Structure 1
Amino acid sequence: MQAHQSTVDPSEIAKFEAMAAEWWDPNGKFKPLHMLNPCRLDYITGQIAGEFDRDLTQERPFAGLRVLDIGCGGGLLSEPMARLGAEIVGVDAAERNIPVAQAHAAQSGLDIDYRFTTAEDMAAAGEQFDVVMNMEVVEHVADPLAYLTACQQLLKPGGLQICSTLNRNPKSYVFAIIGAEHVMRWLPKGTHEWNKFITPDELFDLLSQSGMEPVDRQGFVFNPLTWGWRLSDRDLSVNYVTASVKSKAA
């Protein structure tokens, strides 16, 4: 039997392996994600509620939904989604992230299925989900289209994918590379490669080629005065997020 090809980039995985133990330190190397997380969750929960007609005022509004968190890291998104009632599977290609996520979920009293695997292997195994969360991963893979195609295969007909990444332009180089890695030192130097960043139009095209229908995109905008993030319909110049759906006839 032919081995299943992976889009995992070993050099990218090594970067995150080295930082695994710091996932839950809000002032550590993942400080930017801790700061961004409330904004990410606002978008994700709003899109899921709209697509599946769920009431976010209920205690466990996502009960009955199976959700995949690709590139789950230490579980910063998996845990709040589990608290909202979703059945969560968190996967990561960086093996050292998984025991960190498992230990924190156990401490938090949460039942989350964490696995050391890839989107491609899960798709080959026939796994299916209502929602795929694909956050800040696509800029780290070797073949974005092959990766997004695997994500599409992981969705049930009518399923929803949330995919965020970084725009590629001079501003994103200044903010995401020079600012975040060299000036603020929020991330280790070399965490991101600017030439792997993807413009919103390119991502919409890739999502369409993978078999998805893009339906929304918004920017994550950092305000240095309030030291916080907000969603923007207009400013997608650095960080941004998209929503796409899989045809119910698929």
Structure 2
Amino acid sequence: MTDTTVNDAEISKFTAMAEEWWNPNGKFKPIHKFNPVRLGFIREHLLAQFGRDGSVMRPFEGLSIVDVGCGGGLLCEPLARLGATVTGIDAAERNIAIARIHAEQSGLDIDYRATTSEALAAAGERFDMVLNMEVVEHVDNVPLYMKSCADLVKPGGLMLTATINRTLRARALAVFAAERVLRWLPVGTHDWNKFLTPEEIRTLITRNGLRVTDETGVVYHPLADEWRRSGDMGINYMIMAERPA
């Protein structure tokens, strides 16, 4: 066990691709395609949890959100436009530099920091929502990482964890097909052995004082060229949890 969640090899992978973050047809194309279904799930739960009016322009005014492993800010920017006070953190300094430049060009005030979830937790920072999106499969010391993310959630707040299931289907589709056949991702982006099952994620969530409130699979529909929610959690999935008030 280590006392940090940072995996230097994983950070190097994403640093090497940092310039591609905002190119919708570049190396992060799958995340651009993934964003609408992720944002829809986040928006739905924030509106319900905090009793917000979804018909207004900035329904999340006054709510604080941290995106752990924010990359170039693909989730941070739309949430800031919806009124949230957004903090984006990433262990890769190049990602944060790209995110800052793009936010400035977009006229958005987002607090980007090159730091880790455990550092924020140790500093006592707390948020209404913690986004833990496609990061857990890239870190070292998963129990420490999940604890640090959970520690960032205010009472009454939410944490969303999204990752890939450790199934044979995921190995065939999320790793082999996505990297070597469809060329959606650079070869070596994912290590199937580091994937976690929904049961493992639920255990880590509840161990750290949160309660699972919703979960969904996410599947790709090739004819529509879009990702949609599904009852099938065999490959990609998202789990929502709350810290009791």
Q: TM-score, normalised by structure 1?
A: 0.96
Partner of 2:62: 64
> Is this contact kept in 1: 2:180–2:187, CA < 8 A?
yes
Instruction: Report if the CA contact (8 A) 1:145-1:209 is conserved.
Output: no
Aligned counterpart in structure 1 of residue 208 of structure 2, from 193, 205, 210: 210
- Superposition map of 1:31-110 within 5 A: 31-110=29-108
Shift of 1:51: 0.9
Matched residue type, 1:5: D
Letter in 1 for 2:200: E
CA distance in 2, matches of 1:214, 1:196: 22
TM-fit CA distance, 1:179: 1.0
Contact 1:149 1:211 (C-alpha < 8 Å) held by counterparts? no
Aligned to 1:201: 199
Structure-1 residue corresponding to 2:161: 163
Cα deviation code 1:71-90 (max 9, x no counterpart): 11000000000000000000
Deviation at 1:68, TM superposition (A): 0.3
- What corresponds to 1:149 in structure 2? 147
Deviation, structure 1 residue 218: 0.2
Alignment-derived partner of residue 12 in structure 1: 10
Identity of aligned residues (%): 53
Q: 1:186 aligns with which of 155, 172, 184?
A: 184
What SS is found at the alignment partner of 1:104? helix
Structure 1 position 56, deviation (Å): 1.5
Report the counterpart of residue 235 of structure 1 in structure 2.
232
2:114 is aligned to: 116
The CA deviation string for residues 27-48 of structure 1, in whole angstroms up to 9 with x for no partner, is 1000000001011100111111
Contact preservation (8 Å) 2:69, 2:132: yes
Q: CA separation in 2, counterparts of 1:45 and 1:6?
A: 31
Contact 1:145-1:210 at 8 Å conserved across structures: no
Structural RMSD (CA): 1.0
Which string of whole-angstrom CA distances, capped at 9 and with x for unpartnered residues, describes residues 104-158 of structure 1?
0011110000000000001111111110011001111111111111111111111
2:244 is equivalent to residue 247 of structure 1: yes
SS at match of 1:88: strand
How many residue pairs were aligned? 244
What SS does the aligned partner of 1:76 have? coil
Unaligned runs of 5+ in 1: none
- In the superposition, the TM-score normalised over structure 2's length comes to 0.98
Give CA-to-partner distance per residue, 1:160-204, whole Å, 9 cap, x none: 001100011111011111111001111111100001111111111
Letter of the structure 1 residue corresponding to residue 73 of structure 2: G
CA distance in 2, matches of 1:23, 1:103: 12
Q: Distance in 1 between matches of 2:117 and 2:236?
A: 23
Residues 1:219 and 2:217 aligned together = yes
Q: Which amino acid aligns with 1:245?
A: E
Amino acid at match of 2:229: L
Give secondary structure in 2 for the equivalent of 1:122: helix
Contact 2:3 2:144 in 1 (8 A): no
User: Which residue pairs with 2:21 in the alignment?
Assistant: 23
For the Cα contact (< 8 Å) 1:82–1:112, is it kept in 2? yes
Deviation at 1:6, TM superposition (A): 1.3
Instruction: Give the AA of the match of 2:33.
Output: M
**AA partner of residue 134 (structure 2):** E
In the aligned structure 1, how far is the partner of 2:102 from the partner of 2:60? 21
Q: C-alpha distance in 1, partners of 2:94/2:196?
A: 27
